[in-house]
Structure 1
């Protein structure tokens, strides 16, 4: 059994050789997050502000989110001018736009009875680009993921992910363990110096998305949401570098700057992802300490958690994409992020 993501982050940060955590950068980030909480630019409400996301009023919102996070991986392109785009959106939001377009066209893409038997041609059409060009990378893997999770939902969970949420009795930890046990394509783990560590990026973001969609109520009312860490991907580390919270050794920095593609599960990749988790955990702790020091702010310390901070970091990267172009990201072709 792998160590859960939070403990994995601590262990990896302790053993890391090429990725370093900088306390001054953590302080900078904590102050920025606190400002965002004060002026409400950082909030649980931000998920539902995108017209491409399902809202809690949709009868199949959870099944829609489940499909999104089954497909939510590997959107990066070697050529910045050749990004996969749908309705003008790129990356994850292109996926959201493609799924919404399919729903609007009457394609039952959020029904496991449909996607358990989906073909490459079917999914290729659903994910078609604006100009009819190629769908995103790893199409066959996306097809396999959908078929795999669809069959399990039909066989064991009455054809809906809602059953998984209810069986977990509103525990984020129980749901996380259920997802990675039942659905192999969510089992995001690695070996690191004799330890089996985990990141569970897509499984965690699935729970975080349900929590945010329902604003922590009803089907999103997890009593232990703090078990969920940030979602270690290839974009958030750029922001951690920008704030000076993360630093790379010169050899690692050179390799990343040259665009070298990493092997999934290699020590450097594990260090970048694990240290990202640990940095955000420390940021959350620092923000909560600051909130307690200034009670007149009238902010609940627990309104800051790793999910909220991850949303802020990911949105910051999108808003400042041009500025962050000079900061490299680690390139790994994987189904896990």
Structure 2
């Protein structure tokens, strides 16, 4: 996967929960937004990826900033066609996605020579510098909130863009960052649900009642910021504990050569938790230690 495709996918990587699929049973509602590509049917995040791959296969240069910045070369109606659904429900926040595509294309053309590569180069191998470049120039990545009189920067999608570069390029080339361990987890819906399941988070009864009723939590509201902020800190505590266990294993090793154990960062922990959450979706929604995901309609996650 090229850096241009990674940028486009993460540019649009937000808000895939369905208005019709409110039961959260793990089985997609038949009317849920769905895209078929290559003989397979996709929902959620993968439906958006499938729509992009379908467009590229049709010969639409969707990863070219000069192309998607211009309404002349890529009219709004064509974007709507690209993300067309097999079902009644359309992709959430379609108009926001169109606006975000336009803005990002214009920023890349006007400030970065028409290529995301120049953003990466400007960061000089620093993941934190790249996050700052992304959030400073692309408003849809600027995931901030006011909490108790202080500005809180969560920046979920900017960080996952950096993490995807790191993972896809295996810490080489466009994905080589000397400070990748400074990236936090990606505060969304599924990871907090899983942290609650494993008793890494506690929810008040008032919050549990709100989630059980399926009420929306406004983006930037105190409860929503608390869920996401505490999820970040919980994963940091998990990371620290894993590192302690690795050190103890190394100290207790009777081998003449010390055990070689890979360092664990928040990215790897998040990847593991999210994959678990999707695989165990029914258990998380119905099991003994179950809780519904919080619902916030936002471009930030």
Structure 2 residue 197 is matched with structure 1 residue 242: yes
- Which of 35, 57, 68 in structure 2 is aligned with 1:86? 35
Check conservation: 1:128, 1:134, Cα contact below 8 A: no
Counterparts of 1:308-323 in structure 2 under 5 Å?
308-323=268-283
Match of 2:76 in 1: 120
Q: 1:198-277 residue pairs with structure 2 within 5 A?
A: 198-277=153-232
- On the 8 A contact 2:33/2:85 being kept in 1, the answer is yes
Aligned-residue offset at 1:292:
1.1
* 1:186 CA drift (Å): 0.7
Deviation at 1:301, TM superposition (A): 4.5
**Does structure 1 residue 189 correspond to structure 2 residue 144?**
yes
Of Structure 1 and Structure 2, the greater helix share is in 1
Greater Rg over alpha carbons, structure: 2
- 1:335 maps to 299
The Cα of 1:134 is off from its aligned counterpart by 4.1
Alignment RMSD (CA, Å): 1.4
Q: What residue number does 2:54 align with?
A: 101
- The separation in 2 between residues aligned to 1:181 and 1:65, in whole angstroms, is 19
Aligned to 2:129: 174
**How far apart are residue 238 of structure 1 and its match?**
1.1
Contact 2:217 2:224 in 1 (8 A): yes
Checking the alignment, whether the CA contact within 8 Å between 1:291 and 1:299 is kept in structure 2 is no
The DSSP-based 3-state class of the residue aligned with 1:261 is coil
- Where structure 2 has 5 or more consecutive residues not aligned to the other structure, the ranges are 22-28
Q: Could you say what secondary structure the match of 1:322 adopts?
A: helix
* Residues 32 and 89 in structure 2, CA contact (< 8 A), matched pair in contact too: no
Find the aligned partners of 1:270 and 1:119 in 2 and give their Cα distance: 36
Q: Distance in 1 between matches of 2:34 and 2:270?
A: 23
Check conservation: 1:262, 1:269, Cα contact below 8 A.
yes
Shift of 1:226: 1.1
**Does the 8 A contact of 2:34 with 2:85 survive in 1?**
yes
Q: Contact 1:157 / 1:163 at 8 angstroms: preserved in 2?
A: yes
Deviation at 1:299, TM superposition (A): 4.2
The C-alpha deviation readout for 1:98-151, integer Å capped at 9, x for no partner, is 1111111111111111111243322221111234x4431110000000100100
Aligned to 1:111: 64
Q: What residue in structure 2 maps to residue 71 of structure 1?
A: 12
The answer for unaligned runs of 5 or more in structure 1 is: 1-53, 55-60
Q: Matches of 2:127 and 2:110 in 1, distance apart?
A: 23
**Which moves more between the two structures, 290-299 or 96-105?**
290-299
SS at match of 2:184: coil
Aligned to 1:283: 238
Q: How many residues align?
A: 276
CA-CA distance at 1:280 after TM superposition: 0.7
Deviation track 1:75-99 (CA, whole Å, cap 9, x = no partner) reads 1113221321222221111111111
**Pair 1:336–1:257, CA change in 2 (3 A):** same
Q: What is the TM-score normalised by the length of structure 2?
A: 0.88
Counting only pairs closer than 5 Å after superposition, residues 16-31 of structure 1 correspond to structure 2 as: none
Tell me if the contact between 2:69 and 2:101 (Cα under 8 Å) persists in the aligned partners: yes
Higher RCO (C-alpha under 8 Å, 6+ residues apart): 1
SS state of the match for residue 298, structure 2?
coil
Helix, strand or coil at the partner of 1:197: strand
